[in-house]
Amino acid sequence: MKRWTVARGLRRAVGAVAAASLLIGVAACGGDADQQAGGEASAAANPEGIDDGTKLTLWTRAPLEAQAKALVQAYNSSHKNQVELTITPNDDYVTRVGAAAGSGNLPDLFAADIVYVPNWTEQGLFADITSRIDTLPNAAEINQGHLAAGTYEDKKYVLPFVLDLSVIFYNKKLYQEAGLDPAKGPTTLAEFKEHALAIQKLKKPGVYGTYFGGNCGGCGVFTWFPMIWASGEQPMNEDGTASNLNGAAAKEVYTMWRELVQAGAVAPASKEETGATWVGDFQQGKVGVMPYPATLLATADKSVEVGVTPIPGVNGGQSTFIGGDGIGISKDSKVTDQAWNFMSWLMSDAAQVEVLAKTNSTVARNDLVENKYATDPRVKIINQVASAPDSHTPVARNFQQAFNAAGSPWVTLFRNAVFGDGSSVDADNEAITEVLGQQ
């Protein structure tokens, strides 16, 4: 008798487990509730979003840590909503977002390197915020380069989060020691080379003329595309499907860097620099002059006397890479109104002037370029080069795979050109075109 009871009990248990697993299977086959329809209605009703003490999640990448933390702190201390910030190492960011997006687990808000934004926008990772942006009071003043990157089929998905521009930083003290004028940075590529060689001649232990991310595709586009733009050339075609990085100006850029490497004016650690530490040495006073992210002006100022000048081309000119991150509301967010509250605050004076401008970061609104904190002439230079005619944000669907990804064809091209003899530039350029043109 006892045997039967036990067996039946066992059978019942197994049946329960089977039923439960069926339930789990049926339950969360949950499709994403379509919030777009509801979103339109509440966008009209709440132009600034809702501030009701919701917890919002925000992901950004490590290079923008300082600005992201400052913005989040300022928002949290003045609003009921609280933003929880997660910072991911740069190299992991794309795969992290990819895996989360594929399983419907993106955070409420996330920032994206502006060069990835076209790809991610097209793939539907961001929520449509066209009508919300249009109701912003200062919509017309927002940086057009970033807005355009996040526009797909006439719908807008992304706002500028932190603008990062590339400029030339130089160490004023080293300049003085080398007999260079500390008030003037290089205005042509030839001068850049001259200055780097002069610093190298000082032969100070551990100090080098210049530095660059020798194994970092992202650093390369950020710092060398402006050199090409300022020389009047375009690195890609109009729609970003073919590469022009074997043009005459581009080749001159590679030649200059090759000559610097051969002259020993480039720190040896550059060769393997994947981007994780490419800005470290300058802050420690070990580099004379190098193209650098403008967002780090405040940080670098703490340890080095920094001089700033726009990136020049072969014969002069000036340009910058209008990079940085765009930010959008993810497709998986269930609190879009509250998330929008953060985004709309981001575009306000409180955020742009009191947080970004105050720390010498570039503002995202053209009407705020002249603000009460922009007294530092270097900040003026940075702000002004952002609107120079040769300054761009490049747009290409496969930008990341062609340029930023580890071991991308771009990295192969410039490593061969700078550490090799430069003979394979045309062939390497073909490889880039191939990746850019992939569907």
Partner 1 sequence: MATSLRELVAVPTQRVLTGALALIFLFPLVWAAVASVAPQPGTAQVDGWGMGNYARLAGYQAGLAQYLLNSVLISGMTVIFTLAVSLLGGYAFAMFSFPGKNLLFLATLAILMVPYATLLIPLYVLLNRLGLQNSLVGLALVLTMFQLPFATFMMRISFESIPRELAESAYVDGCGTFTALLRILVPAVKPGLITVGLFAFLAAWNDFIAPLILINDSDKVPLPLAVANIRGQVMGVVDYGATEAGVVVLALPCVVLFLLLQRHYVRGFMSGALKG
Partner 2 sequence: MATPVERRTEVPSAAPTSTIPEPAARRRVSGLSRRRRNQGWLYAAPTALFVTVFFLVPVLLVIQMSLSDWGLFAGNRGLNAPDNYTDALSNRLFWPAVWFTVKYTIITTVILIGIALGLALLVQEVVRWNSFLRTAFLVPSALGLASASLLFYALYAPQSGPFAQLLTALGIGDGTVSFLGSPNAALWSTVAVIVWRFAGFYMLLLLVGLQSISSDVYEAARVDGANRWQTFTNVTLPLLKSSLALCTILCITGSLLAFDQFYILTRGGPDNSTVTIVQLVYNTAFGGRNDLGVAAALSLVVLLALIVINAAQFRALRGKED
Neighbouring C-alpha atoms within 13 Å toward the C-beta of 179: 6
Binding stretches for partner 2 (CB under 8 A): 3, 7, 10-11, 14, 17-18, 21, 91, 94-95, 98-99, 101-102, 119, 123-125, 215, 268-269, 271-272, 274, 398, 400-401, 405-407, 409, 411-412, 415, 431
Binding stretches for partner 1 (CB under 8 A): 1-3, 5-7, 9-10, 24-25, 27-30, 59, 62-63, 65-66, 86-92, 96, 99-100, 102-106, 276-280, 283, 296, 299
Instruction: Give the nearer residue to partner 1 in terms of CB position, either 87 or 190.
Output: 87
- DSSP 8-state secondary structure symbol assigned to residue 33: P
Report the alpha-carbon distance of residue 346 to residue 341 in Å, rounded.
9
- Tell me which H or E stretch contains 18: helix 2-27
For residue 411, the partner it binds in partner 1, partner 2, none, with Cβ less than 5 to 8 A by kind, is: partner 2
Return all residues near 78 (Cβ < 8 A) that are at least 6 apart. 350
Cβ pair 167, 290 in contact under 8 A: no
Instruction: Give the nearer residue to partner 1 in terms of CB position, either 264 or 280.
Output: 280
To the nearest whole angstrom, how small is the minimum distance from the Cβ of residue 283 to partner 1? Answer: 6
Instruction: Give the nearer residue to partner 1 in terms of CB position, either 142 or 356.
Output: 356
For residue 65, the partner it binds in partner 2, partner 1, none, with Cβ less than 5 to 8 A by kind, is: partner 1
For residue 86, the partner it binds in partner 1, partner 2, none, with Cβ less than 5 to 8 A by kind, is: partner 1
Token readout for 292 is 């650098």
Cβ pair 236, 242 in contact under 8 A: yes
Q: Is 95 helix (H, G, I), strand (E, B) or coil?
A: helix
Q: Is 392 helix (H, G, I), strand (E, B) or coil?
A: strand
- DSSP 8-state secondary structure symbol assigned to residue 361: P
Report the alpha-carbon distance of residue 65 to residue 161 in Å, rounded.
12
For residue 274, the partner it binds in partner 1, partner 2, none, with Cβ less than 5 to 8 A by kind, is: partner 2
For residue 17, the partner it binds in partner 2, partner 1, none, with Cβ less than 5 to 8 A by kind, is: partner 2
Q: Is 414 helix (H, G, I), strand (E, B) or coil?
A: helix
To the nearest whole angstrom, how small is the minimum distance from the Cβ of residue 323 to partner 2? Answer: 17
Instruction: Give the nearer residue to partner 2 in terms of CB position, either 270 or 360.
Output: 270
Instruction: Give the nearer residue to partner 1 in terms of CB position, either 28 or 37.
Output: 28
To the nearest whole angstrom, how small is the minimum distance from the Cβ of residue 289 to partner 2? Answer: 21
Give helix 189-201 / helix 248-262 axis angle, nearest 10°: 10
Token readout for 113 is 């390197």
For residue 55, the partner it binds in partner 2, partner 1, none, with Cβ less than 5 to 8 A by kind, is: none
